[in-house]
Amino acid sequence: MTPAVHADTEETRYGSFMDWKLFVRFLSYAKPYRGWIVTALALLPVSALVQIAQPMLIKRAVDNHLTTGNMEGFSVLLSAFILLVGVQFFIGYLQSISNTVLGQRVVRDIRKHLFSHLMTLDAGYFNHHASGRLTNRITNDTEAVSQMVSSGLVSLVGDFLLLLGIGISMAWLAPSLSLVTLLAMPVIVAGTVMITRKLRTIQRRGRLLQAQMAGKMTEEVEGARILRLFRLQDNRRQRFNKVNQEHFDTVLASNYLEAMQFSFIDAASTITMALLFWYGAGLVESSEVTIGTIVAFVDYIRRIFFPIRDLSGKFTTMQAAMTALERIFNLLDTPPAIRDQPSNQPLPTFRGEIQFLDCDFGYGDGLVLKNIHLTIAPGEKVAIVGPTGSGKTSLVKLINRIHEPLRGEVKIDGLPVSHYPLRTLRRMVGMVQQETLLFAGTIAQNISLNDSAITLEKIHAAAVESGAIGFIERLERGMDTVLSERGGNLSAGERQLLGITRMFAFNPAILVMDEATSSVDTISERIIRTALKRLMEQRTALIIAHRLSTVQNVDRILVLVKGCIVEAGTHDQLLKYNGVYAQLYQLQFQGEGGD
């Protein structure tokens, strides 16, 4: 499950620069912005024409005025030329705006789509996919697509139009002269592309090495003490130096190639010019072409070399975008493994009966829960105890379909959990976990989760029931106190109390408490325990507890070991049974001095 990390964070494989299937699908995102696309495309021929016309004016100026000395009408020509240059700048400006707007809008929509899709995926998916990589989809990959729109695709078409236009103009002005010039083109294009390709490969390698160095650096700094302890510094130093040296070589090679690229293009254009003058001189002598034509050709050749130089860069942009699109669409095509059945009917109320029918469950290879068979009656209070890692949390996550069993079925009130809409299910199974998840917003919002059905009165009543009202009213702004992200400005106990208040407000039929008091101090624990006790009344409750003393009074205690329920019964029954529970209890009893 761990393909080379760099394959994802860095640029990836070299794909084709145009994949029509991906592209057509991409266009569906661009469709709402037809207007901008038409604008961007319509500007291309105008821009090309404006550029092609300039050397034509120069030719006229040379042939009709400069070489003859007849200045009549020259100022008109000059004005026209200045006008063209002005128009060229203005169009360039418009193009840059329309391309950027188009790219950013499309990318905004793709991001929106990606994000809401991610929200529908189940917990299992995030289990198997590194979050960094998913974040990459939303940030870097969409950025690559935006690059394609704003600087790849449109300008590639524009370059093509320009080159075509210049070719036609040259052929129209002087066919034989243009033939000589164009002869050199294939060599120049091939050379440029070759150098640039090599350059990109080396630059990519350089970035990779740089990332590796940064990674090693962090590793070393973080692990510095341990390294000293084990006297591994020399070994590490050698490894770091090796990467550092390779990085140095790569950067040097890349600079060398870059210099070569510019010299090559310089040399190529100079040689082409020389060819032009050498052959052109003969044609001028025999009056086949004018001096103005030669001057115009010089200008054309100059204009040809810019697009050629940028060509391979644009192809790379396109390739990166195609790879990004492929990954984005792959993610979008991942269906949520846990989905609502179309036939789901919301139930008015749950009675709160839970059944596990021969359930097996695991996250990857190996089972975390084995053959769980269990019925919990409505209103029953059941504790689950067992060593860390025995599967307690996993077990309760099957109830609200955070995960699904690999084998067997979980039922609530006689119906498989998959028959309930997820929304209904997750509201009817309330969870109080070790840490309550709070978000940036007011206390009231954090209790009601912005559900309009939970009125302010309800929120207040819930806070009274949970006992949270005490600390809330001591705050200057009370219910309107704004919490920082994750509730950083509250104590752990206060955060838990808010989580419990939430439960009072939503009133779930089934309550699951997963080590709800294990991360709070003793004083808060007493308050929280009182609140939880009141919360449990009138509902089915599952209590996962570390401290056995907290669960002595429940109806039934299940002992989970390595994913199997090994013992079940009341506290007294289990003590009498003198098995795992009795042992654990003795151990804790001694450790805590009775508690």
Closest CA to 47 of 307, 363, 366, 223: 307
Within a 10 A sphere around the Cβ of 337, how many other Cβ atoms? 12
Backbone phi, psi, residue 494, to 5°: -65, -40
Nearer to ligand ADP, 48 or 398 (CB): 398
Dmax over CA atoms of the chain, in Å, equals 121
350 and 412 in contact (C-beta within 8 Å)?
yes
Cβ atoms of 14 and 86 within 8 Å: the answer is no
For the chain, the first-to-last Cα distance in angstroms comes to 46
Which of 391, 405, 430, 487 is close enough to bind ligand ADP by CB under 6 A? 391
Nearest-angstrom CA–CA distance, 96 and 130: 36
**Rounded to whole angstroms, how far apart are CA atoms 470 and 4?**
53
Give counts: helices (H), strands (E), the chain: 21, 12
> Which value, to the nearest 10 degrees, does the dihedral of the CA atoms of residues 258, 259, 262, 268 take?
-120
User: Looking at 80-88, 383-391, 531-539, 546-554, which segment touches ligand ADP (CB under 6 A)?
Assistant: 383-391
Shortest distance, CB of residue 124 to ligand ADP, whole angstroms? 8
By C-beta, is 363 or 577 nearer to ligand ADP?
363
Is 166 among the residues that bind ligand ADP (CB under 6 A)? no
Smallest distance from the beta carbon of 542 to ligand ADP, in angstroms? 12
Residue 269 binds to ligand ADP (criterion: CB under 6 A): no
Name which of 2 and 388 has its Cβ closer to ligand ADP: 388
Q: What is the dihedral of CA 402, 404, 408, 410, to 10 degrees?
A: 30
User: Apex CA 334: angle with CA 330 and CA 335, to 5°?
Assistant: 155
Quote the least distance from Cβ 512 to Mg ion, whole Å.
11
Task: Decide: is 390 part of the binding site for ligand ADP (CB under 6 A).
Answer: yes
Q: What is the smallest separation between the CB atom of 380 and ligand ADP, expressed in angstroms?
A: 21
Q: Report the 10 Å Cβ neighbour count for 134.
A: 16
Footprint of ligand ADP on 21-50 (CB under 6 A)? none
Residue span 166-195 as binding mask against Mg ion, x where in contact by CB under 5 A, dash where not: ------------------------------
Nearer of residues 216 and 546 to Mg ion, judged by Cβ = 546
Residue whose CB is less far from ligand ADP, 311 or 558: 558
* Minimum CB distance to Mg ion smaller for 288 or for 435: 435
593 sits in the region (left: phi over 0; alpha: psi -120 to 50; else beta) called left
- Asked if 85 contacts 55 with a C-beta cutoff of 8 angstroms, the reply is no
Shortest distance in whole angstroms from residue 388 CB to ligand ADP: 4
In the bound complex, which residue of the shown chain has the CB atom lying closest to Mg ion? 393
What backbone torsions phi and psi does residue 119 show, to the nearest 5 degrees?
A: -65, -25
Euclidean distance between CA atoms 185 and 304, whole angstroms: 10
391 makes contact, choosing from ligand ADP, Mg ion, none, with CB < 5 to 8 Å by partner type, with: ligand ADP
Q: Which one of the spans 55-63, 304-312, 391-399, 486-494 is the region binding Mg ion (CB under 5 A)?
A: 391-399
Residue from 389, 473, 583, 595 touching ligand ADP (CB under 6 A): that is 389
Shortest Cβ 368–ligand ADP spacing (Å): 4
Tokens of 77: 């020509």
Q: How many CB atoms lie within 10 A of CB 224?
A: 12
φ, ψ at 510 (rounded to 5°): -120, 135
- Does position 388 interact with ligand ADP (CB under 6 A)? The reply is yes
Pattern of binders to ligand ADP over 117-156, x per CB under 6 A?
A: ----------x-----------------------------
272 binds, among ligand ADP, Mg ion, none (CB under 5 to 8 A by kind): none
Q: Any contact of residue 61 with ligand ADP (CB under 6 A)?
A: no
CB under 5 to 8 A by kind: which of ligand ADP, Mg ion, none does 338 bind?
none
| Binding footprint of ligand ADP, residue count (CB under 6 A) | 11
Calculate ∠ Cα 192-195-196, nearest 5°: 80
Which of 65, 204, 392, 495 is the binder for ligand ADP (CB under 6 A)?
392
**Residue 355's beta-bridge partner residues?**
375, 411
CB of 387 to ligand ADP, least distance (A): 7
Return the range that interacts with ligand ADP (CB under 6 A); candidates 171-179, 229-237, 389-397, 498-506: 389-397
State which H helix or E strand residue 483 sits in.
Answer: strand 482-483
Contact flag: residue 393 with Mg ion (CB under 5 A): yes
Asked if residue 393 binds ligand ADP (CB under 6 A), the reply is yes
Contact between 174 and ligand ADP per CB under 6 A? no
Residue 387 carries which side chain, given as an amino acid letter?
Answer: P
- Single out the residue of 363, 461, 507, 568 in contact with ligand ADP (rule: CB under 6 A): 363
Q: Of 125, 130, 117, 124, whose CA–CA distance to 405 is shortest?
A: 124
Which positions touch ligand ADP (CB under 6 A)? 127, 363, 368, 386, 388-394
